[in-house]
Amino acid sequence: MAPALLLFAFVVLVPSARGVYYAFTDWDGLDPHFDFVGLDNFAAMFRDADAVQAIWHTLLIAVSITVVQNAIGLLLALGVNSAIKSRNLLRVFLFAPAVITPIVTAYLWRNLLGPDGAVNSLFGAVGLDSWRQDWLGSPDLALWAVVGVIVWQFAGYSMVIFLAGLQSVPQEIHEAAALDGAGPVRRFWSVTRPLLAPAFTINLMLSIIGGIKLFDQVYALTGGGPGHATDTLSTLIYKDAFTLGEFGYSIALAVVLTIIVAVASTGQYVLLARGERAAS
């Protein structure tokens, strides 16, 4: 047990604890002399419009991804869990984007979503010229473009987890419900949905935590721009530490990120555990 605990303590516990301490200092990352500044970094954060905006973007992205990705993932899972002939092929194919390096898919999409990119070309080719946009260059659209790219990549991941849940629903229960006269919608709501509760727990947890920590895709797609229109807590942490040298402030942002992750995951866990108990 000791090697695992030592590695874990060295890489996660001790640096995290030091991080919390540095959040109350004005450390610049290099100078061994730094001062304890109390809550100054946190007070500065709430006066810093960029930071407040980044917190808002982080929450908005996490919630949007969670809702859209899981809705699409569930629909795909229901589609693939039917009698269609291509179901095995589709499952392998639709999941494939989830294993590709996120930074690579992000650079691919940066080109596709450009003014002369494939997405606009496609709209032009089917006569929807009015839909052509500078997707990543517009402050109003860029955030939603980022959400779209992530949903494209990970909807198949949600699908696979829902599918495992669906396949654990015994066929006899469905047939019994059908014999009793329940239609497909009623069967989904009363039979399938309660039994999918564990899959919902895993999926919502993965997407909300992944959304809150989001860095790679924003870095590659927009770099947080245009302006600060897509900056998230993670991109701001990186910029403040490594381009501005404000380690103390940057780590204070990381502490806020930690608190958001902790609140979101425990809150969700408690809610969903209650839901699972009610369903069973």
Partner 1 sequence: MNRYRSRTLALELVMIAVALIVGFPVYVLVNLAVRPASDTSSPIAPTGSPTLDNFSHAWQQGGLGGALANSVLVTACSVVIVLAVSSLAAYPLARITARWSRGTYLLVLLGLVLPFQLASLPLYQTMRDLGLLGTPWALVLFYSGLQVPFTVFLYVGFLRAMPKDFEDAALIDGCTPLQSFRHVVLPMLKPITVTALVLNAVAVWNDFFTPLLYLSGSAQQTMPVAIAGFVGQYVTDWNLIFAALVISVLPVLLVYFLLQRSIINGFAGGLRG
Q: Which of residues 221-240 bind partner 1 (CB under 8 A)?
A: 233-234, 237-238
Pick the piece of the chain touching partner 1 (CB under 8 A) from 39-47, 49-57, 59-67, 114-122.
Answer: 114-122
Pick between residue 136 and residue 254 the one whose CB is nearest to partner 1. Answer: 254
258 binds partner 1 (CB under 8 A): yes
11 binds partner 1 (CB under 8 A): yes
178 binds partner 1 (CB under 8 A): yes
Whole-number minimum distance, CB 124 to partner 1, in Å?
8
Looking at residues 59 to 78 of the shown chain, list those that interact with partner 1 (rule: CB under 8 A): 76
Pick the piece of the chain touching partner 1 (CB under 8 A) from 33-41, 56-64, 112-120, 137-145.
Answer: 112-120
164 in Cβ contact with 199 (< 8 Å): yes
Looking at residues 80 to 109 of the shown chain, list those that interact with partner 1 (rule: CB under 8 A): 80, 82-86, 90-105, 107-109
Pick between residue 65 and residue 237 the one whose CB is nearest to partner 1. Answer: 237
Query: Which residues fall within 8 angstroms of residue 62, CB to CB, at 6 or more apart?
Result: 207, 208, 211, 212, 214, 264
- ω into 15 cis (within 30 of 0): no
Burial bucket for residue 171 (CB in 10 Å: 0-12, 13-18, 19+): exposed
206 in Cβ contact with 221 (< 8 Å): no
Whole-number minimum distance, CB 267 to partner 1, in Å?
12
CA distance 58 to 210: 10
216 binds partner 1 (CB under 8 A): yes
| CA nearest neighbour of 88 among 165, 153, 163 | 163
161 binds partner 1 (CB under 8 A): yes
**DSSP code of residue 36:** B
